[in-house]
């Protein structure tokens, strides 16, 4: 096994090949793999983290992931799955308002043995084709939009204050 210093120089794919979850490794090492996500973080608590994706498939693409490592929905406790579903539903509604998109697709692909359980929410805009290619569109560069990020943060807080 490589040393910690060697691991810190590896890509997420190289860590996966060694059986290391890059999301957990990133958290344990202060953002060493994916960097600081404070400019994309929407919500975080002791169970989940919600953030805009730093290499999105489209504007408003977000991810809801567990803080603790579970490989997929079947491994996570029911209360975590229920929480993710509640947040997913809320963010679908909020995203439609903030991004003026027509639909928000839900996707969860945990396809490697040491993957970290997460769901992705991918907006589809009215001017985009309706089909499954929305899940495999080329990745783009993340564009920080403070106004939209603040609207997402405000929207999720207001949503749960009503409950």
What DSSP line would sit under 62-79, residue for residue?
Answer: EEEEESS--SSTTTS-HH
Per-residue confidence band for 163, with pLDDT thresholds at 50, 70 and 90? low
Domain ranges of the chain: 1-35, 38-162
Phi-psi region of 30 (alpha: psi -120 to 50; beta: other; left: phi over 0): left
Q: 38-162: which CATH architecture?
A: 2-Layer Sandwich (3.30)
In tens, the pLDDT along 61-103 reads: 999 999 998 888 888 999 999 999 999 999 999 999 999 999 9
pLDDT of 113 over the 70 cut:
no
d(CA 18, CA 29): 17
């Amino acid at each position: 096994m490589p040393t910690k210093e060697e691991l810190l120089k590896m890509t997420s794919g190289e860590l996966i090949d060694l059986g290391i979850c890059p999301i957990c490794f990133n958290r344990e090492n202060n953002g060493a793999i994916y960097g600081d996500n404070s400019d994309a973080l929407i919500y975080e608590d002791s169970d989940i983290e919600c953030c805009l994706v730093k290499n999105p498939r489209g504007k408003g693409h977000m991810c809801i992931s567990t803080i603790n490592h579970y490989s997929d929905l079947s491994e996570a406790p029911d209360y975590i799955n229920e929480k993710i579903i509640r947040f997913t539903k809320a963010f679908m509604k909020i995203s439609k308002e903030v991004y003026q998109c027509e639909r928000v697709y839900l996707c969860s692909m945990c396809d490697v043995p040491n993957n970290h359980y997460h769901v992705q929410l991918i907006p589809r805009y009215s001017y985009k084709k309706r089909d499954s290619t929305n899940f495999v569109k080329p990745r783009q560069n993340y564009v920080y939009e403070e106004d939209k990020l603040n609207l997402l943060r405000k929207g999720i807080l207001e949503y749960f204050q009503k409950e």
